[in-house]
């Protein structure tokens, strides 16, 4: 009897622990840091490790907020801020250069419970554009503000404007020079602008950041932040601030953040199309994401990827490029970090 008591106690404890796990509400987060020609041979082991560490830091910061009972909006904003502040990614510090050698950034955020959304486009002096998108959602009656108007709104909300050169990095400047040289050559070869731009390697365009999250209250949300595409015309707006194209969230279907050649993501309404397939065709997020990224975008030349989450905590991370910086973590799976296709 004295020996069976501890065994019984242990058994009972483990039954209760499992029951608690089974009834725990799912919560999860996934992030991306851009998709494109990301080849292993271009990385030194130290550089690869540094990227992986930053992705891990970002996903774990968001996860910690969810674990403590924070909302999906708070979690994804924290994750995105870490990537915006890192020069590795094309958002905030490290944003790509426009043709005119400055930085113009776009961001958006959407909440699945209410379908409220906020976005900013073409901002030049905002350190963390995702935070301003959130303010547009929470504190204005609008969904999208652009340029000077967005920055005036920022000031009215107490957001400090910063110098545009805060976002400068040497490696992005070199990318711009390479892109310009390629465009010049293409012009000399009489290629039209569209064809010439297509000939820029996808690497010139990567690094947009985004996050999708599910909180313990069953609400999903999505956010995306970017410097856009290297050598873009001033005033060009990509898919990232366009609700339905680069960002979408609805508790009835899924939450999506996209990265890739924005013009295609706008024309094919990528984020909303994935969620529509889930909602109206009863498809899993995995199936819907695969269809849009591989079967719809690939044949027309639209390169990129998405991160998707649903209210059950399922996560899917499809892309049609060589790689996509990505990471995820949920209450029932440990941290995953990937860069290359076969990670």
Please list the active-site residues: 208
Q: Does 223 bind ligand ASP (CB under 6 A)?
A: no
The three state secondary structure string of the chain is CCCHHHHHHHHHHHHHHHHHHHHCCCCEEEEEEEEECCCHHHCCHHHHHHHHHHHHHHHHHHHHHHHCCCCHHHHHHHHHHHHHCCCCCCCCCCCCCECCCCCCEEEEEEECCCCCEEEEEEECCCCCHHHHHHHHHHHCCCCEEEHHHHHHHHHHCCCCCCCHHHHCCHHHHHHHHHHHHHHHHHHHCCCCHHHHHHCCCHHHHCCCEEEEEECCCCCEEEEEEECCCCCECCCCCCCCCCECCCEEECCCCCEEEEEECHHHHHHCCHHHHHHHHHHHHCCCHHHHHHHHHHHHHHHHCCCEEEEEECCCCCEECCECCCEEEEEEEECCEEEEEEEECCC
Task: Considering only the stretches 64-72, 122-130, 143-151, 232-240, report the one whose residues sit in contact with ligand ASP under the rule CB under 6 A.
Answer: 232-240
Q: Does 328 bind ligand ASP (CB under 6 A)?
A: no
d(CA 261, CA 245): 11
* Nearer to ligand ASP among residue 62 and residue 262 (C-beta): 262
Task: Considering only the stretches 77-85, 117-125, 199-207, 324-332, report the one whose residues sit in contact with ligand ASP under the rule CB under 6 A.
Answer: 199-207
Task: Considering only the stretches 73-81, 155-163, 168-176, 237-245, report the one whose residues sit in contact with ligand ASP under the rule CB under 6 A.
Answer: 237-245
* Nearer to ligand ASP among residue 28 and residue 245 (C-beta): 245
**Min. distance of Cβ 107 from ligand ASP in angstroms?**
11
Contacting ligand ASP within 18-37 (CB under 6 A): 34
d(CA 236, CA 288): 29
Here's the x/- map for ligand ASP, 32-61, by CB under 6 A: it reads as --x---------------------------
Q: Does 228 bind ligand ASP (CB under 6 A)?
A: yes
Q: Does 239 bind ligand ASP (CB under 6 A)?
A: yes
Q: Does 122 bind ligand ASP (CB under 6 A)?
A: no
Task: Considering only the stretches 116-124, 172-180, 203-211, 323-331, report the one whose residues sit in contact with ligand ASP under the rule CB under 6 A.
Answer: 203-211
Q: Does 175 bind ligand ASP (CB under 6 A)?
A: no
* Nearer to ligand ASP among residue 215 and residue 273 (C-beta): 273
With CB under 6 A as the contact rule, the residue among 77, 240, 303, 328 that binds ligand ASP is: 240
Please, are residues 317 and 305 in contact by the beta-carbon 8 Å criterion? yes
Q: Tokens 């999506």, residue? A: 256
**Min. distance of Cβ 104 from ligand ASP in angstroms?**
10
* Nearer to ligand ASP among residue 65 and residue 317 (C-beta): 317
With CB under 6 A as the contact rule, the residue among 208, 225, 257, 311 that binds ligand ASP is: 208
Please, are residues 230 and 122 in contact by the beta-carbon 8 Å criterion? no
Here's the x/- map for ligand ASP, 62-91, by CB under 6 A: it reads as ----------------------------x-
**Min. distance of Cβ 32 from ligand ASP in angstroms?**
9
247 token code pair: 């960002």
Q: Does 225 bind ligand ASP (CB under 6 A)?
A: no
d(CA 145, CA 126): 13
- φ/ψ of 35, rounded to 5, equals -125, 150
Q: Does 94 bind ligand ASP (CB under 6 A)?
A: no
Q: Tokens 């110098």, residue? A: 163
Contacting ligand ASP within 241-300 (CB under 6 A): 246, 259-260, 262
Q: Which residues bind ligand ASP (CB under 6 A)?
A: 34, 90, 205-208, 226, 228-229, 238-240, 246, 259-260, 262
């Amino acid at each position: 009897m004295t020996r069976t008591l501890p065994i019984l106690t242990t058994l009972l404890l483990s039954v209760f622990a499992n029951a608690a796990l089974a009834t725990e509400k799912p919560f999860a987060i996934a992030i991306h840091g851009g998709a494109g020609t990301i080849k292993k041979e271009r990385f030194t082991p130290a550089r690869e490790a540094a990227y992986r560490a930053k992705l891990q830091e970002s996903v774990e910061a968001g996860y910690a907020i969810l674990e403590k009972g924070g909302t999906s909006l708070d979690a994804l904003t924290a994750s995105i801020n870490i990537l915006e502040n890192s020069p590795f990614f094309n958002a905030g510090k490290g944003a790509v250069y426009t043709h005119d050698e400055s930085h113009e950034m776009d961001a958006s955020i959407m909440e699945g419970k209410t379908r409220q959304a906020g976005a900013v486009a073409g901002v030049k002096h905002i350190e963390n554009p995702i935070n301003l998108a959130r303010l547009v959602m929470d504190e204005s009656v609008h969904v999208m503000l652009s340029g000077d108007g967005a920055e005036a709104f920022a000031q009215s909300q107490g957001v400090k404007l910063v110098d545009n050169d805060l976002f400068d990095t040497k490696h992005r400047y070199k990318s711009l020079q390479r892109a310009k040289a390629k465009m010049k050559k293409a012009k000399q070869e009489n290629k039209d602008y569209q064809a010439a731009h297509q000939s820029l390697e996808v690497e010139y365009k990567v690094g947009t950041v985004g996050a999708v999250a599910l909180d313990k209250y069953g609400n999903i949300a999505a956010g995306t932040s970017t410097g856009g595409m290297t050598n873009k015309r001033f005033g060009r707006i990509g898919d990232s601030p366009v609700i339905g194209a680069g960002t979408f969230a609805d508790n009835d279907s899924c939450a999506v953040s996209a990265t890739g050649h924005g013009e295609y993501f706008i024309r094919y309404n990528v984020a909303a199309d994935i969620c529509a397939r889930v909602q109206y065709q009863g498809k899993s997020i995995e199936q819907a994401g695969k269809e849009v990224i591989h079967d719809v975008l690939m044949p027309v030349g639209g390169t990129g990827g998405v991160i998707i989450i649903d209210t059950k905590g399922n996560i899917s991370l499809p892309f049609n490029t060589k790689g996509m910086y990505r990471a995820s973590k949920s209450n029932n799976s440990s941290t995953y970090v990937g860069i290359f296709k076969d990670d």
